[in-house]
Structure 1
Amino acid sequence: MKKALLSHNPLFASLSDAELENLIAVMRQVDLPPDTVLFREGDYGERFYIVVDGQLDIIKAFDTPDERLLHTSGPGDCFGEMGILDPERLRSATVRSRSHARLLEMTKSDFDELLHRKPDIAFDVARTLCRYLHNTDKDNIRFLEEKNRQLAKAFEDLRNAQDQIIEKEKLEHELQLAREIQESLLPRSLPVLPGFDFGARVVPAKAVGGDFFDFIRLDKDSLGIAIGDVSDKGVPAAIFMATTRSLLRAEAKAGRSPAEVLQDVNRHLLSMNESQMFVTVLYGVLYAPTRLFSYARAGHTPPVVSNTSGNLIVPTMQSGQPIGILAKPELDSHVLELSPGSTMLIYTDGMTDARNNAGELFGAGRLYGEFSAHRFLSAEALCESLVKAVLDYYEEGTVLDDMALVAVHVRP
C-alpha cells in the first residue's frame, strides 16, 4: 500500500519498485491523534509527508479571525514538499489532523541522498516546484479577490450606513425644529388674573404632537381657555393643531359665546381640511368678577372641579362632536361657578388612556384620585404632579398618546 502511494506521487513517479522499497525503508511512520497540529504556518520545515490514512486540514491564518480552510488531505495526498526542496522557506500553512492519521515522513537528508543516487529525479522536482508555485499563485489570487469583494461590500455597507446616519440626523434636526416651533406656539407664560392661579403642561408622545392648550386674553376681566386633542400624532397632527389654535385666536372675541367661536373654527377647518383629521376641543371663557366659567365642548372630555373638601364635581355630559369633519357639529355648553379655594382641571384623554406593562388603563378614577390628593398644591405644581403620576404608570413602556392639561385654582 505504501509503495502504491509513493508511486503515484509526482516526485517519485520515475522510481523503480526496488528504489521505492528502499525509500519506504528509510521513511519514518508518524501517527497523529485527532485534532493534533503537525506544524504551524511560519515554522521552518525540512520534512515532507504523505498521508497513508486519515484526514488532515490545511489551514491558513490558523487560530486568528482570518482563519480559513484551504483543503483537506486524505490517503495518497502529500504536503510539505517545499520543506525538502527549499529548507529555508517557512511553512505556508498549518496542518492539523481531523481524525486519527498515519503519515510517511521524509527528511531533507533522505531526499538529498535519493537525489544523489537518482539525478533524473531533479526533473520531477522542477515540475513539482512549478506546480506548487502555480497553485500558490492561484490560491493567493483567489484570496485577494475574495478580500477585495469583502472590502467592496464593507465599503458599500459603510456608505449606506453613513447615508442612513446623515438622514436620521437630518430628520432628528427637523423634528427638533418642529418641536421648538410647536413650543413657541404655546403660551410662553401663564396668564395673570386677579384671584386666580394657573398651571398647564403638554407632553407629546413623539417629538411633536397634536395636543394643545391656550390662554386668550379677551379683556381685563375675561380670559379664554382652550384645550384640544387632534386625531393623529406626529408632524401632521402638529400642523393641524397649529391651524386650529390660530383659528381659535382669530375667532375668540369678547362678547362671543364659546359655541359660536367653535362653530366658526369648524367652518374654517372644513374649507381647508384635506387630511380628514379632526380635533376635540373644549373652549371656555372665565369671567373673574363672578368666577363663572362658560364653556362649549366639541367631543372633548368635560372639566372636573375639586372643592376645598376634596369632593369632585363632574358636569353631566350632553352630546358633543369633534370639529373639522361635520358641517354643523353638536356642541355641549355649560356654565360652572368656581367657588373660592376650588380647582378646575381640564385635560386630554392621553392622561387617562395610559396603560402599564400589564395593559391596565390609568383611567379617570386614578386621575381623579391623584387630583383630589394633591388639590392643595399650586396649579402649576398640581399639573407637574399629575403628569408624573401618569408617566410613572407607564413604567418602562412607551408613551403612546399626547397629554395636555390645564389647572385653574381660585384663591380663597
Structure 2
Amino acid sequence: MIASAETVHLLDDFLTSHRKTLSEIAQSWLDSGATAFGISDDGRWLAIWPELAITGEQGAHASLKINNRIVADLWVFGLDGATARQRLETDAMLIGKLAAQDQELNNATYELIDAQDQLLALYDLTQSMRNRLSIDEALTSLVKEAGRLIKSNACAGYLAFEPPVIAQHPQPMMSASALQHMAEQVIASGTRLILHSGSGNATEMAIGSTSILLEPIRIDNQVIGALCLQRTQDTFRSPDLKLAQAVCDQAGAQFENLLRYRESLARARIQTEMELAKNVQTHLLPQRLPNVPGLEVAAGALPASQVGGDFYDFMEQAGEPFIFTVGDITGKGMSAAMLMAMTRTLIRSKTKAFTRPSPVDILGSVNDEMYDDFTELSMFATVFVGQYDNVEKALYYANAGHSPVIFCPAGGEAFLLEADGAPVGVLPNSTCENQAIYFNPGDVLVAATDGFSEAGSNSGEMFGYDKLLQLVTAVANQPAQTIMDTLFQTIAQFSAGHAQDDDQTVVVIKGV
C-alpha cells in the first residue's frame, strides 16, 4: 500500500491534532496487557506506544480506512485472540471516522476560504472596473483581473458594440479576427465554449494552448460579448467555470452601469444643447419693439418644450421703409436653431447690402446663399418678408411658403395672404414675387407661425385656419398688443391640458 501525498499529509495532520486521543487508546491497550500499539503506513511507523518499543513479535492488525479507502494499519502486540482482533477493528473504524470528519471539516474550510477569496476577488474586479469611464478601459481592466483570478496564461475580451471593442493581456493570444470569430459563436449560441488541444475544434485554438474557455458576457440576459481565457499547461475545471461565470456576471453588471452612465451623459449633452439652442433663439429675437410712424407693432414668441426654428425680426433704417420678417425653420434642436440664426443674419445683411431692397430681393439672395446648407441637412425655411411705406400707405411683401399670414382690412373680414413661392432651401432659385396691398389706419396684418393654426386640443382637434380668421376678425378693432395677447390666450385655453407641440410666434401690425 503506497499512500498518496495528500493521504500522508492528512495522516500527519490527524496524528498531530489527535495525539492525545490516540495516546489514550494506546494506553488502554497497554493497560489490558498489550506490549505495544501503533499505526503504520507501508512498513513505516507513523506512531507507536510506548516509544522505542520493539515489535519483532507477531502482532494483530486492522486496516485503517478513511471514506472506505485504506490509508494505514492499526497494530497491537502481546495480545491475540478474537476478542482483541474485534476490539482492534472497532478502534480502527472509530479512528477512521474521526479522520474522515477531520477531512470533511478541512474540505469545508478550504471551500469557505476559496469562496471568500472569490468574493474578495470579485470585489477587487468591481472596484477596478468601477473607476473606468470608457468601455475600452473597463474591458482592459476586466481581462487583466480575470486572467489573474482564474489563473490563466492569457486573457482576452470581446464586446460586440459598434465598432467592436477588443482587449488582450498580457500579450495577444490570437489575432483580432480569430477572437471575433470565436466570440461570435458564443454570442450566437448564448453558451460557453471550451476548446481542448487534440479535440476536433482544436484548429481554432491559439498556438501553445492546452485549453481555451470563452464565457458569455450578458446585459439583461442578452449576450453582448465574451471573455476568453487561455491555459498552456492545464485544463479548466468545474471551479474555474463557476468563477468565470461569476466574473462575467459581475462584468456584465458593470458594463450595463457604464452604458447607462454614457446614456445619461448623452441625455445631459442633448439637454445642454437644447438649453443653448433656446438661448440662441431667445437672444436673437428683438429685445424691443420698433417705433414706426403710422403703425402699431406687437410681437411675441412662446417656445415649445423642444427647441424649434421660429424667428421674427425688425429692420429700421433712417429714410428707408420699415422691414419686418417672420420665419419657421423645419426640424427641432440645435440644427434648427443654428439655421434660424444664419437665416436671420443673412436677412439683416442683405437688407443693408441693397439700396432700398424689395422683399423679393431679400428672399432671393437668402435662398441663393442658404440653398446648399438647407439641402445638405434636408431642411427648409418658410419666410415672410414685409415692407411698409408710410408715405404710400402701402405694404409690400413676399411670401416663401409661409402660413398663416392674415390680413384684416378695417371693418372687414380677415383672410389669408397665400404664399406664392416655395420655401427657402427647396429650389435653387426663389420663385417669390413682390405683392402689394394698401395699408390704411385700422388695417391689421397678423404674421404667425403654424404653432397657432396647428395647436391641438385634448380631444385631438386642431385649431385650424377658420377659427384663427374668425378670431382675428373679432379682435381687429383692438390695439396691436391686445390682438396679440388675445391670440396667445385663446390658443392656450383651446389647448389646455394638451402639450404644446410647436413654437408659437407672431407679429401683429396695425395701421393708425
Residue 313 (structure 1) aligned to one of 414, 419, 428: 414
Q: What is the distance in 2 between the residues matched to 1:263 and 1:276?
A: 19
Show the 5 A alignment for 1:17-166: 121=94, 124=97, 127-128=100-101, 130-131=103-104, 134-135=107-108, 138=111, 141-142=114-115, 145=118, 148=123, 155-166=254-265
Q: Which residues of structure 1 form unaligned runs of 5+?
A: 1-116
Show the 5 A alignment for 1:127-276: 127-128=100-101, 130-131=103-104, 134-135=107-108, 138=111, 141-142=114-115, 145=118, 148=123, 155-205=254-304, 207-220=306-319, 222-252=321-351, 253=354, 255-270=356-371, 272-273=373-374, 274-276=376-378
Native 8 Å contact 1:345 1:408 kept in 2:
yes
Q: Does 1:341 align with 2:314?
A: no
Native 8 Å contact 2:444 2:508 kept in 1:
yes
**More displaced stretch, 153-162 vs 117-126:** 117-126
The CA deviation at 1:339 is: 3.1
The CA deviation at 1:409 is: 2.5
Q: What is the distance in 1 between the residues matched to 2:435 and 2:279?
A: 35
1:251-272 superposed Cα distances (whole Å, 9 cap, x missing partner):
2245322122222222222355
Q: Does 1:400 align with 2:373?
A: no
Native 8 Å contact 2:382 2:423 kept in 1:
yes
**More displaced stretch, 257-266 vs 136-145:** 136-145
Q: What is the distance in 1 between the residues matched to 2:296 and 2:109?
A: 87
The answer for the alignment partner of 2:384 in structure 1 is 282
The answer for the alignment partner of 2:21 in structure 1 is none
Q: Does 1:323 align with 2:296?
A: no
Q: 1:198 to 1:356 in 2, by over 3 A?
A: same
Q: 1:237 to 1:316 in 2, by over 3 A?
A: closer
Q: What is the distance in 2 between the residues matched to 1:328 and 1:315?
A: 25
Q: What is the distance in 2 between the residues matched to 1:392 and 1:120?
A: 95
Q: What is the distance in 2 between the residues matched to 1:308 and 1:370?
A: 15
Native 8 Å contact 2:273 2:333 kept in 1:
no
1:367-411 superposed Cα distances (whole Å, 9 cap, x missing partner):
233334444554344334423433454444443333321111233
The CA deviation at 1:227 is: 1.0
Q: What is the distance in 2 between the residues matched to 1:360 and 1:137?
A: 74
Native 8 Å contact 2:280 2:341 kept in 1:
no
Aligned partner of residue 197 in structure 1, secondary structure: strand
Aligned partner of residue 434 in structure 2, secondary structure: strand
1:316-370 superposed Cα distances (whole Å, 9 cap, x missing partner):
6363222223233322533233332343201122321223343322211222333
Q: 1:270 to 1:169 in 2, by over 3 A?
A: closer
Q: What is the distance in 2 between the residues matched to 1:278 and 1:192?
A: 31
Native 8 Å contact 2:312 2:327 kept in 1:
yes
Aligned partner of residue 273 in structure 2, secondary structure: helix
Q: What is the distance in 2 between the residues matched to 1:157 and 1:382?
A: 54
The answer for the alignment partner of 1:353 in structure 2 is 454
Aligned residues between the structures: 294
Q: What is the distance in 1 between the residues matched to 2:269 and 2:416?
A: 47
**More displaced stretch, 132-141 vs 387-396:** 132-141
Native 8 Å contact 1:224 1:284 kept in 2:
yes
Q: 1:203 to 1:125 in 2, by over 3 A?
A: farther
1:160-189 superposed Cα distances (whole Å, 9 cap, x missing partner):
434433343333223322322232222121
Aligned partner of residue 298 in structure 2, secondary structure: strand
1:31-71 superposed Cα distances (whole Å, 9 cap, x missing partner):
xxxxxxxxxxxxxxxxxxxxxxxxxxxxxxxxxxxxxxxxx
Q: CA RMSD in A?
A: 3.4
Please tell me the residue identity of whatever aligns with 1:175: M
The answer for the alignment partner of 1:106 in structure 2 is none
The CA deviation at 1:130 is: 4.4
Instruction: Name the % identity.
Output: 26
Please tell me the residue identity of whatever aligns with 1:333: N
The CA deviation at 1:137 is: 5.6
Native 8 Å contact 1:317 1:332 kept in 2:
no
Native 8 Å contact 1:233 1:402 kept in 2:
no
Q: 1:324 to 1:156 in 2, by over 3 A?
A: closer
The answer for the alignment partner of 2:467 in structure 1 is 366
The CA deviation at 1:304 is: 1.5
Native 8 Å contact 1:304 1:312 kept in 2:
no
Native 8 Å contact 2:384 2:400 kept in 1:
yes
Q: 1:172 to 1:144 in 2, by over 3 A?
A: farther
Native 8 Å contact 1:212 1:404 kept in 2:
yes
Q: What is the distance in 2 between the residues matched to 1:393 and 1:315?
A: 21
Q: RCO greater where, 1 or 2, for CA within 8 Å and sep 6 or more?
A: 1
Native 8 Å contact 1:222 1:254 kept in 2:
no
Native 8 Å contact 2:306 2:332 kept in 1:
no
The CA deviation at 1:308 is: 5.5
Native 8 Å contact 1:341 1:409 kept in 2:
yes
Q: What is the distance in 1 between the residues matched to 2:439 and 2:330?
A: 31
Aligned partner of residue 382 in structure 2, secondary structure: strand
Native 8 Å contact 2:274 2:333 kept in 1:
no
Aligned partner of residue 360 in structure 2, secondary structure: helix
Aligned partner of residue 396 in structure 2, secondary structure: strand
TM-score by length of 1: 0.60
**More displaced stretch, 379-388 vs 241-250:** 379-388
